[in-house]
Each structure stands twice: as C-alpha cells, then as structure tokens.
Amino acid sequence: MITATDLTKTYGETTALAAVSVAWDEGLHCLAGPNGSGKTTLLRVLAGLTRHDSGSVTVPESLGVAFQTPNVYADLTVAENLDVFGALAGATDEWRASLVDQLRLDPVAGRTAGALSGGFQKKLDLALALLKRPDALLLDEPLADLDPATRRRLVDTVTRYSAEHTVVASTHHLDAFADDYATLTVVRDGRLLDSWDRPAAPNDPGSVYDRLLDRENGF
C-alpha cells in the first residue's frame, strides 16, 4: 500500500502540497488536476525524489517510477537500455521478453533511444520501470502527447499490471482509463478536492473538471 498523511510541501511562498492524505492499495488509481495542482510534487515525494516539509509517507520497498520526460540512456539502443536496466533490476529473460512484446518494442530494438519518437521513448521508459516487477508503480502523465494506438498499448500494459500491484497515474486523459481505475483523486492548488472509489466515481471521468468547476468556482 502507498499512504501519505497530512503531507505538506512548500517552495518559498508557494504551497505545493497542503496536508494531503491518500491511501492506495492494489489496483489502478488515477490522480487528476490542472497543471500546477501538485500532482507531480506528490508523486516525487512518494518516490523519494523530493523531500516533504511535514507529514508521513509509506511506500513499498520495491517502487517503479516513470515521469513525463522519459528517463532512458539516449546514446544506447533500446536493447542495450533493457540490458543495463535489466541487469540492475535482476529481471529474468522471460519477463523482459514479455514487456518487449506487450509494448511492441521489437521493431526498434536496434535503434538508439535518443532517436526514437516520443511514443516509443515512453514505452521504453515504462518497460524500464517495470523490469524489476515493482510492488508499486508511479506514473506522471504517461499518456501525454501520444497517438491513440500508443496510448491504448500503454493503458493495456498498465491496467494488466495493476491487477496484482499498486499503480498510481497522474493524467489529463481520464477517459483512457475510464473502465479500469479503482479510485479517482482530484487535487487543486496542492490540496485534495475529492476522491471516489470506482463504483461512486462519475460515469464520464472527463466531466470531473466540469463538476468541480461548478462546485469550486473554477480551477
């Protein structure tokens, strides 16, 4: 389980997180909110990449992370990236091959990562984050700037993995996860506005912003 209790983070006079509390267990959990709402800061604190000012965080020992800008070795080929990260993660050949197949990376295995399209870079980044079979996976805007086919491929891989693991994805593409998420949490200005379990969530996740716009007088 991933939990945060009364999490606070400020940058000078700007409050990025204001006493945010969340609890996510097995399944896919969507984190929504406008740009600058605190989504990335929350994920970075959970990942241990940003120090919080107060509050507490509990995450599994094995954690995979993929942020909006892919973290790959640009001068290495796709296959070499998988070799290097796979060795560090202790990934089996079978699991590595499964990820390559799920994300359709075979056609670009010999190309350098820096020469890949944004979509292929994101698929490679996700594969690298999954190599160690982490107990939990944090994803920051995994579907941004992707074509529909690539988006569907990433959604399929992520939702399949969330069946037995905890996955948290910040996203503006709620509709892509509409049939798959377990909870939907919305933040704005560093504070938690609302959270729904799947049965109680809006039937059309894309209408979430409109509903909160009416209630909160706009983002």
pLDDT in tens, 116-136: 998 999 999 999 999 999 999
Order of all β-strands in the sheet with 14-24 = 14-24, 2-11, 54-58
CATH of the domain at 191: 3.40.50.300
> What pLDDT, on a 0 to 100 scale, did the predictor assign at position 175?
81
Over residues 135-191, the pLDDT tens digits come to 999 999 998 888 898 899 999 999 999 999 999 999 888 888 877 888 999 998 899
Longest dimension (CA), the chain: 53
> What pLDDT, on a 0 to 100 scale, did the predictor assign at position 180?
84
Confidence tier at 214 by pLDDT (50, 70, 90) = low
19 φ/ψ angles, rounded to the nearest 5 degrees: 50, 50
Q: Residue 66's domain spans which residues? A: 2-216
> What pLDDT, on a 0 to 100 scale, did the predictor assign at position 156?
93
pLDDT at 73 over 60: yes
Q: Are 170 and 139 in contact (CB under 8 A)?
A: yes
Say which amino acid occupies 121.
Q
Burial class from Cβ neighbours inside 10 Å (0-12, 13-18, 19+) for residue 203 reads exposed
pLDDT at 56 over 70: yes
Work out the mean pLDDT of the chain and round it to a whole number. Answer: 89
Confidence tier at 205 by pLDDT (50, 70, 90) = low
> What pLDDT, on a 0 to 100 scale, did the predictor assign at position 145?
83
pTM: 0.89
Token duo for residue 122: 């994101």
Confidence tier at 90 by pLDDT (50, 70, 90) = very high
> What pLDDT, on a 0 to 100 scale, did the predictor assign at position 196?
82
Query: Half-sphere exposure (CA, 13 Å, Cβ side) for 31?
Result: 28
Residue ranges of alpha helices (H) inside 56-117 are: 78-89, 93-102
Share of the chain above pLDDT 70, in %: 91
Domain tally for the chain?
Answer: 1
> What pLDDT, on a 0 to 100 scale, did the predictor assign at position 206?
58
Confidence tier at 204 by pLDDT (50, 70, 90) = low
